[in-house]
Amino acid sequence: YLTNAGYGELDFVVSPVDEWISVIPDSGTTPAEVDVQINTDTLPYGEYVGKIRLIDLNHNDSSEAVSVVLNVTAPLIDISPDTLYFKVLAELGNPGNLSFQVNNSGSGRFNWTAVENSAWFDLSKYSGISSDNIEVSINLSGLEYDTYLEPLLIESNEAANSPDTAWVLLELTGNMPYLRANPDTLIIRGGEEDMLSGLIEISNPGSGILNWTAELSAGWLNIDKYAGSDYDTIFISIDNSLATGSYNTEMLIYDSASFNQSLTVPVYLYISSDDTILIADASTMPGQLAVMPLHLKLSDPAKALYIPISYDNSMAILDSIVSNTTELPSSVNFFTGISGGKAEFGLRIDDAVFDTESIPPGDYEVASLFFTAGNDDVFNRVDTLSSDSSGLYILSESLERKVPALIPGDLIIGNPTDVDIALAENIPDDIYLSQNYPNPFNRSTSIDLMLNRNSKVSMKIYNILGQTVYDYGNMELPAGRHRFNWDGTMKNSLHIAPSGVYFYRLETAKYTDVKKMVLLK
């Protein structure tokens, strides 16, 4: 907007200095509005600074220059990371896939095409729109031990910085040992009076011989050996002075001459009281309702109970938790909460009589979980959550928080013999190996296994020295429930195993679990 800062009117001319600037009108008399227009058709991406000169026709020696700053935006290819690094031991075969993320750090959208000329890697896709993910898979066939580096070009007609380049780096090594722990995570559960223990086998899928050393970071964890070689078994025992609750630590296994040099085995310990919480199984059809009762077995008087609950809300929706007010004393107050795939249930003696009343020992059905099933045929595990601040507990008469044993329940929807691929990716969450029953046992015991997809399975029983006592062999089992029975006989023999602690180990392609049992004669 042009005005005369003095008196009267001024005749003026507007003269753009740069070709990409135009004005309407280009002359006139003050006061007047002048529209500035930008011609960007021929301008590439970047920042431009131009000028418009304003000339006073009544006084030719008087003029002003106005600056015009222009930022031309465009789609910009941004590849993250700029290099994928595969460090591979040949004996392990093709490594798992890694991914590039193709992003747009500019404006608008762009179509892209990937170009590569490598014989040893492939892409999951070769074209896309703006932000997208490209998986890179490696094929080691025909490659010698060496380092390989190949470019990957992302091209786009719309992006200002096309083409952009990323790199795939492969370092292929062989003839080296490799550290692997089976299981790779150890979970130990038991009661206050139990002898808690577990087994970890250190295997070597590489070449050569391992010479590993173990280190512990928690005083409550004990192991029978701190060094070993291929396929040695570490027997783990727990300090029995620990109170009920959940504990976790790590065990470090290292061998500087191995390919991966070190590995960390997480150890999770859950010590429960004699109290038990059972989430009962339920079956329903897709889209229908299901009810899962919540049972409490209380061995000693208690003041309160808290249960955090977890489930997969993509498979079923928890509509409500209905407390059973008829089974417990009238002085008990209930509370519930539901949020996404998490929920909570609790009960507590009313504050007015908290010091004088308690919930007596007994078996109670304290609540019911009401679900609406999703549309797929699946198993949905309903379990508890582990938390340092708000985990499962029972408050005793002495106001001590004790952790009860919890038996999770399965919401079985439809006929889950075939499992969706996306669900089957997370095998450890979907396979469940039960605690044997009875335990301890005298004549025989049973072990239940739940599979939600067809799996190749190995089940073995070991003694505390890591020696195989009984081998069920390698088998392919369909999805569903399976039961293994053991009468105490030893492999290739009619002899009965002696009294003591034994371990049974389940192994599939993507899942390993070890549990303890006691044979009494």
Same domain, 398 and 456: no
Token duo for residue 145: 């031990």
* Per-residue pLDDT tens digits of the chain, which is 521 residues long: 888 877 778 888 898 988 889 999 989 888 889 999 887 666 777 788 999 988 887 776 577 889 999 887 788 999 999 999 999 999 999 999 999 999 998 888 899 999 999 999 999 999 998 889 999 999 999 999 999 999 999 999 989 888 999 999 999 999 999 999 988 888 787 777 777 888 888 999 999 999 999 999 888 999 999 999 998 989 888 887 887 777 889 999 999 999 999 999 999 887 877 788 888 888 888 999 999 999 898 889 999 999 999 999 999 999 999 999 888 999 999 999 999 889 999 999 999 999 999 999 988 999 999 999 999 888 788 888 754 446 889 999 999 888 887 778 888 888 754 333 333 333 334 577 888 877 778 778 888 888 877 788 889 998 877 778 898 888 888 877 788 888 888 876 667 888 888 888 888 876 777 888 888 77
E strand map for 204-244: 212-216, 221-223, 227-228, 232-238
Same domain, 163 and 219: no
Domain end position, chosen among 269, 302, 320? 269
87-89-95 Cα angle (round to 5): 65
The span from the CA of 344 to the CA of 16, in Å, is: 70
Same domain, 380 and 466: no
Same domain, 112 and 52: no
Residue 5 is assigned to a structural domain of this protein = no
Residue of 32, 36, 1, 8 whose CA lies nearest to 20? 36
Backbone angles phi, psi at 92, to 5 degrees: -85, -5
Same domain, 117 and 239: no
Number of folded domains that form the chain = 5
Token duo for residue 325: 């007010």
CATH number for the domain spanning 221: value is 2.60.40.10
Residue 3 is assigned to a structural domain of this protein = no
E strand map for 239-315: 245-254, 262-272, 276-279, 282-284, 289-298, 302-310
The span from the CA of 519 to the CA of 521, in Å, is: 7
Quote the longest CA-to-CA distance of the chain: 121
Which residue range(s) make up the domain with 134? 77-173
Same domain, 367 and 280: yes
Residue 19 is assigned to a structural domain of this protein = yes
Same domain, 169 and 240: no
The span from the CA of 236 to the CA of 36, in Å, is: 79
The span from the CA of 369 to the CA of 363, in Å, is: 18
**pTM (2 d.p.):** 0.57
E strand map for 452-511: 455-463, 468-477, 480-486, 500-507
Same domain, 289 and 403: yes
Same domain, 97 and 158: yes
pLDDT digits (tens, 9 = 90+) for 121-174: 999 999 998 889 999 999 999 999 999 999 999 999 989 888 999 999 999 999
Same domain, 292 and 405: yes
Beta partners for residue 410, in sequence order: 381
Residue 427 is assigned to a structural domain of this protein = yes
The span from the CA of 451 to the CA of 461, in Å, is: 19
CATH number for the domain spanning 426: value is 2.60.40.1930
Domain end position, chosen among 173, 204, 239? 173
Residue 316 is assigned to a structural domain of this protein = yes
Residue 358 has a CB neighbour count (10 Å cut-off) of: 20
CATH number for the domain spanning 368: value is 2.60.40.680
Same domain, 389 and 490: no
- Is the CB of residue 212 less than 8 Å from the CB of residue 224? no
Residue 190 is assigned to a structural domain of this protein = no
Residue of 391, 343, 407 whose CA lies nearest to 371? 343
The span from the CA of 465 to the CA of 233, in Å, is: 8
Residue 178 is assigned to a structural domain of this protein = no
Residue 355 is assigned to a structural domain of this protein = yes
Contacts of 504 (CB under 8 A, 6+ apart): 436, 447, 459, 460, 461, 462, 484, 486, 514, 515, 517
Residue ranges of alpha helices (H) inside 327-475 are 421-424, 427-430
- Is the CB of residue 507 less than 8 Å from the CB of residue 458? yes
pLDDT at 492: 65
Same domain, 316 and 381: yes
Domain end position, chosen among 355, 390, 413? 413
